[in-house]
């Protein structure tokens, strides 16, 4: 969607919001899939309530994009303008065992910065792509660690009130790849509390997780991580593998040869290709196992 109202464009500039015209969103997602739209880069969290009020008053549909690593966007011209937090030098501030992190910060960089300050616990999250905000929203986890366990406080833009709010960690439900945040809440900053650990020990943990991940996941291909959540007590990857679907494709979208719950963009995949592959694999798993797989990747539907 393109913004054309000069008054609105002027008001955005007055809020310090950067307006980029006709951005290719494929370049902003780890899948390399997505059409084009105007992008609004938010430099100051405090400007969000005014920005969203402005867009609502002008009747402009909008959506917030985090790090783009767990999302499948539609093709073509998108029917929303896209909001994103500016990602230049997001703050990571350490005070004792407490870490204050801007949600635009890269999750991996956060884990290594904390490690250098002798704060561990998050080693398992080292290879999880994306931002701290995205990790929080879905309670990202790997190798027995999930980010929700360390959250003491979160600053969010609450869509329901149109205000910035600070929530205590204990007031948020963190479940397997699910949280109690509303879908249109925007994560802004988080205070984590991490256990002290010797740097060498943390580094060793990071190395082990990196090796496990390299051995089992297609890290050098465009993907959104696991496509489906694991159903209780089962592994989606193993079921898809047992069906012989590694390498199975729909257009340019393909089930990874390395890990069957990773669907990769094998070159020029469209959103329609990826959705067709998801639907096809889900149907086959249902028919064979009687299990309805639920997507872990967030699919933005344009209709």
Chain residues that interact with ligand EPU, rule: CB under 6 A: 142-143, 216, 225-226, 229-230, 235-238, 241, 259-261, 296
Nearer to ligand EPU, 97 or 235 (CB): 235
Contact 40, 194 (CB under 8 A): no
Cα gap 107→135, rounded to integer Å: 7
CB of 250 to ligand EPU, least distance (A): 18
At what angle are helices 199-216 and 107-116 packed, to 10 degrees?
A: 150
Contact 101, 62 (CB under 8 A): no
CB of 239 to ligand EPU, least distance (A): 9
Q: Is 171 exposed, middle or buried (0-12, 13-18, 19+ CB in 10 A)?
A: exposed
CB of 130 to ligand EPU, least distance (A): 10
Beta-sheet pairing, 145-146 with 141-142: antiparallel
Cα gap 150→40, rounded to integer Å: 31
DSSP 77: B
Nearer to ligand EPU, 1 or 208 (CB): 208
Nearer to ligand EPU, 179 or 261 (CB): 261
CB of 127 to ligand EPU, least distance (A): 7
Nearer to ligand EPU, 52 or 278 (CB): 278
CB of 216 to ligand EPU, least distance (A): 5
Instruction: Give the SS3 label for residue 109.
Output: helix
Cα gap 250→217, rounded to integer Å: 20
CB of 212 to ligand EPU, least distance (A): 7
CB of 2 to ligand EPU, least distance (A): 33
SS3 annotation, 196-232: ECCHHHHHHHHHHHHHHHHHHCCCCCECCCECECCCC
Contact 107, 87 (CB under 8 A): no
* Nearest residue to ligand EPU, by Cβ distance, number only: 225
* Rg over CA atoms, the chain: 20
Nearer to ligand EPU, 46 or 257 (CB): 257
Nearer to ligand EPU, 19 or 177 (CB): 177
Contact 291, 285 (CB under 8 A): yes
Nearer to ligand EPU, 119 or 125 (CB): 125
Question: How far does CA 145 lie from the centroid of its chain?
Answer: 17
Nearer to ligand EPU, 151 or 209 (CB): 209
CB of 105 to ligand EPU, least distance (A): 19
């Amino acid at each position: 969607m393109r913004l054309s109202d000069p008054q609105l464009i002027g008001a955005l500039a007055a809020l310090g919001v950067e307006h980029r015209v006709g951005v290719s969103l494929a370049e902003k997602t780890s899948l390399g899939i997505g059409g084009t739209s105007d992008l609004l880069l938010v430099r100051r969290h405090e400007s969000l309530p005014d920005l969203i009020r402005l867009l609502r008053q002008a009747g402009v549909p909008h959506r917030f994009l985090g790090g783009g690593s767990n999302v499948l966007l539609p093709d073509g011209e998108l029917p929303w303008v896209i909001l994103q937090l500016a990602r230049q030098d997001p703050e990571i501030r350490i005070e004792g065992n407490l870490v204050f992190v801007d949600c635009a910060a890269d999750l991996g960089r956060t884990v290594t910065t904390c490690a250098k300050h002798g704060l561990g616990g998050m080693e398992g999250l080292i290879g999880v792509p994306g931002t701290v905000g995205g990790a929080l929203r879905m309670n990202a986890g790997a190798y027995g660690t999930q980010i929700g366990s360390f959250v003491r406080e979160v600053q969010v833009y609450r869509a329901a009130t149109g205000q910035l709010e600070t929530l205590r960690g204990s007031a948020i439900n963190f479940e397997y790849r699910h949280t109690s945040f509303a879908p249109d809440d925007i994560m802004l900053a988080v205070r984590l509390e991490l256990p002290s650990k010797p740097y060498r020990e943390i580094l060793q943990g990071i190395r082990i997780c990196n090796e496990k991940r390299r051995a089992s996941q297609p890290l050098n291909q465009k993907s959104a991580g696991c496509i489906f959540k694991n159903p209780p007590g089962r592994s989606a990857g193993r079921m898809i593998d047992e069906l012989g679907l590694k390498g199975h494709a729909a257009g340019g979208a393909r089930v990874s040869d390395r890990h069957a719950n990773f669907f990769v963009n094998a070159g020029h995949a469209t959103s329609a290709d990826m959705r067709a592959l998801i639907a096809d694999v889900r149907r086959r798993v249902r028919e064979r196992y009687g299990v309805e797989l639920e997507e872990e990747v967030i699919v933005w539907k344009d209709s």
